[in-house]
Amino acid sequence: MGNALAPVFTWWNGATLGTHLGLRGKRRVGEDDLGNVYYEGGRSVDGTPQRWVIYKGSNDASRVPPEWFSWLHKQLDDVPDRSMPQPRAWQKPMVPNMTGTPLAYRPHGALEKGGQRPASAGDYEAWTPEG
């Protein structure tokens, strides 16, 4: 499938054409460090403003930083850039869940690392009746 038709048919890598059409008339309120774009507009059944995220890249909720997650779930009234304090020097930047990717954490002994790990004092020894 060519790149021109991808937004019409694919939902797993960004937003479809239908999603972009549905955002007409909605207000773009911000963008996070990963390039995800956030929108607000209209009202839900309970009268609160509706909020959306359009992912840059794969549609994975773990790619939404905590401050924007709070905004999406109406824990913050205003966008994080205006309502959250500046990050502290000791805070690390948000990292998406890397499970299932080549960047996933694999401890010593994982099959992807050769399946060998150093021996440990608590290693299992099978019982044999001769022993």
Give the span between the Cα atoms of 57 and 47, in whole angstroms.
31
Residue type, 63: R
Q: What rounded mean pLDDT belongs to the chain?
A: 83
Q: Judge whether 84 lies within some domain.
A: yes
- Residue, of 110 and 8, whose pLDDT is higher: 110
Q: Judge whether 122 lies within some domain.
A: no
Give the span between the Cα atoms of 119 and 117, in whole angstroms.
6
Is a pLDDT exceeding 80 seen at residue 47?
yes
Q: Judge whether 80 lies within some domain.
A: yes
Q: Judge whether 130 lies within some domain.
A: no
- Range 28-51 average pLDDT: 90
Q: Judge whether 69 lies within some domain.
A: yes
Instruction: Work out how many domains the chain is built from and give that number.
Output: 1
DSSP H helices in 30-98: 66-72, 80-83
Is a pLDDT exceeding 80 seen at residue 119?
no
Q: Judge whether 38 lies within some domain.
A: yes
Tens digits of residue pLDDT in 4-38: 666 556 555 666 677 777 788 889 999 998 899 99
Q: Judge whether 128 lies within some domain.
A: no
Give the domain range for residue 57: 6-111
- Range 52-63 average pLDDT: 86
